[in-house]
């Protein structure tokens, strides 16, 4: 991955508040982490992904893995073979957001301490809530856990995540290219044209989106 291109894409998305919807369109309408929903509304976050995982109802690996993670990342927390317990709550979220300057916390797993996370406006996208938490005990990783963690780390680590009210979309590492940057620029321009045609010119959406009659002008 070219870090210069990644920074260029991240900066463009952040400065223009490019939505997860638009990013998904640039990826051929793919890329969503479907189980992750915004806990707090009105947030827009983007950054490189840091992959972290828990497994088998223990969050010991999370505590271990987040000790030395780089600042400014979107933390993607994978819940491998979990039994629908909360991965963590306010304490770990505070450490990640305040001490490690995390852009966002993303997981398809569950969270707890929700009153505090809502009051503190934590940038969290998760799969749901529960008061029942994981155990913080060390457990051996079986071959299946190791395989899933290895596969998913290769998929998500150093990708780009875009998080907003619609959800989370991940730009894979092999899509972090100049061409992706150009797609993002084009889709921002296209959105402006479409809304101009519908709102200002009074066109219907068929003429605008399907027939693209503005190209004839």
- Paired with 74 in beta bridges are 49, 104
Q: Which two tokens stand for residue 93?
A: 């979220």
CA distances from 84 to 11, 27, 110, 127 (A): 36, 31, 7, 10
Write down the residue that tokens 């009153």 correspond to.
Answer: 115
Q: Does 92 belong to an annotated binding site?
A: yes
Task: State yes or no: 89 annotated in a binding site.
Answer: yes
> 5 with 177: CB under 8 angstroms?
yes
Say if residue 71 carries a ligand binding annotation. Answer: no
Phi-psi region of 205 (alpha: psi -120 to 50; beta: other; left: phi over 0): alpha
Give every CB contact of residue 186 below 8 A, 6+ residues apart in sequence: none
Is 162 annotated for ligand binding?
A: no
CA atoms within 13 A on the CB side of 24: 15
Question: How far is Cα 142 from Cα 148, in angstroms, rounded to an integer?
Answer: 10
Question: Around 172, how many Cα atoms within 13 Å sit in the side-chain half-sphere?
Answer: 10
Which residues are documented as binding site for Mg(2+)? Answer: 113
Which residues are documented as binding site? Answer: 89-92, 112-113
Which residues are documented as binding site for substrate? Answer: 89-92, 112
């Amino acid at each position: 991955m070219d870090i210069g291109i990644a920074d260029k894409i991240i900066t463009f998305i952040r400065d223009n508040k490019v939505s997860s919807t638009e990013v998904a369109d640039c990826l051929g309408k793919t890329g969503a982490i479907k189980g992750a929903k915004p806990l707090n509304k009105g947030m827009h976050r983007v950054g490189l992904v840091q992959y972290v995982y828990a497994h088998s109802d223990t969050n010991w690996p999370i505590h271990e893995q987040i000790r030395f993670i780089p600042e400014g990342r979107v933390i993607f927390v994978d819940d491998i073979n979990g039994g629908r317990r909360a991965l963590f709550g306010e304490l770990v979220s505070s450490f990640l957001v305040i001490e490690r300057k995390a852009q966002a916390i993303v997981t398809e797993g569950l969270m707890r301490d929700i009153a505090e996370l809502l009051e503190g406006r934590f940038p969290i996208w998760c799969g749901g809530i529960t008061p029942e938490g994981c155990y913080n005990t060390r457990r051996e990783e079986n071959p299946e856990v190791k395989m899933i963690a290895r596969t998913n780390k290769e998929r998500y680590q150093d990708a780009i995540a875009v998080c907003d009210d619609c959800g989370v979309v991940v730009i894979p590492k092999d899509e972090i290219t100049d061409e992706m940057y150009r797609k993002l620029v084009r889709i921002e321009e296209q959105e402006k044209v479409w809304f101009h045609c519908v709102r200002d010119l009074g066109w219907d959406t068929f003429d605008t989106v399907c027939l693209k009659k503005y190209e004839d002008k």
